[in-house]
Amino acid sequence: MNRNKTPLLCVVFLALLVLSSSAMAQVRIDLKPEDRVKPETKTEDRYRVPEANIPCSAEEATWWKSLRDAGDEVRRTRGDKSSSKRFVELISDGASQSYLPPVQDRKAVILSKTEPSYTKEARQRGIKGGIAMSVELLPDGTVGEVKLMSSLGAGLDENAVSAARRTVFLPAVKDRKFARFEVLMEMHFNLY
């Protein structure tokens, strides 16, 4: 081998060694099988009543399981009157029994949101677009004040507010108590 090429090969070899060692120095974190969450499950769970993750009494655990099951039913039926009423009743029953939600602090979980209906006038006038609202989600599982932040008129604002009032949700949790939560909601109207 030519003597002039030897130092160049050494430099290339050292550079490759440095690059490969820095790649090997990366941290690897292995999760136990029970800690691994499939992406689609993780997203779906975001829209469910969470599992109890704080120690609680047997009565609270039973109530929470019933609430979770009722929440799943709301999602399955897309918020029909019967399942929605049952869910809100369970929240009320828990409050009357002084049960505390056995979960860590978290935002409200929207289980079902009703789409607003088009009005005849808006359809005739070809009105389309979005209506933004600030919606107050109360600790008792009902919708409080709905404030319009944008408007389309022609009866669409009223339909959007009416649809927002039919939202079914698990209230936010703060210090193991259901809490008031304000969420921004947008309703869209499109003509096809």
12-30 pLDDT, tens per residue?
554 444 444 443 333 343 4
pTM of the model: 0.74
Token pair for residue 157? 């604002």
84-103 pLDDT, tens per residue?
999 999 999 999 999 999 99
Taking the C-alpha atoms of residue 56 and residue 103, their distance in angstroms, rounded to an integer, is 9
Specify the pairing of strand 143-148 against strand 168-170.
unpaired
Beta bridge partners of 131: 187
**What length is written for the chain?**
192
Complete domains list, the chain, with CATH: 37-189 (3.30.2420.10)
Strands in 143-148's sheet, in edge-to-edge order, are 143-148, 129-137, 181-189
Mean pLDDT of the chain: 83
